[in-house]
Amino acid sequence: MKGILNMSQFFIAMKNIPTTTHQQKQVRVIKNKQGKSVPAFYEPPELKEAREKFMAFLSPYVPDEPFLGAVRLTVWWCFWHNNKHRNGEYKTTKPDLDNSNKLLQDCMTDLGFWKDDNLISSLHTEKYWADVPGIFIRIEAI
């Protein structure tokens, strides 16, 4: 029997963090088999590209066994400051943290970091301007 995973943490170095968010899903009206108009949701190309990028960058860090109980998720979004801001200064511009986290958490769920993202019982997330851009992620069993 394998041991229970208690914690995982890693940093994904990424200069151009996707700023497209889960909120940018689109809807169109289509006709169903009965000829009735119904909504159909889809991901525009930018959102699909952001999802693929997150999946590719996260995949090396997928645990052997998913977290099965309550977890605390810590995410630090470190955006490259381009010499316009100080390292560690809080970022107060788009994207919104909640929208960025939604896409990231969906990708982590799809990859099997946890059984379901409803297990995230504690969430600590911040966004900064940084000398070293990327995303720091810590998952802790609680």
Please report, for the domain that includes residue 56, its CATH number: 3.30.1330.70
Structural domain contains residue 132? yes
**pTM of the predicted model as reported, rounded to 2 decimal places:** 0.83
Say how many domains are in the chain: 1
Mean pLDDT of 30-50: 77
Which residues partner with 41 through β-bridges?
Answer: 27
Residue pLDDT, tens place only, 75-87: 999 999 989 999 9
3-state secondary structure of 85: coil
Buried b / exposed e along 7-43 (16+ C-beta atoms within 10 A): ebeeebebeebbbbbbeeeeeeeeeeeeeeeeeeeee
How far apart are alpha carbons 70 and 41 in whole angstroms? 30
Using the predicted structure, report yes or no on whether residue 67 has a pLDDT greater than 90.
yes
Structural domain contains residue 2? no
Q: 37: pLDDT confidence band, cut at 50, 70 and 90? A: confident
Structural domain contains residue 93? yes
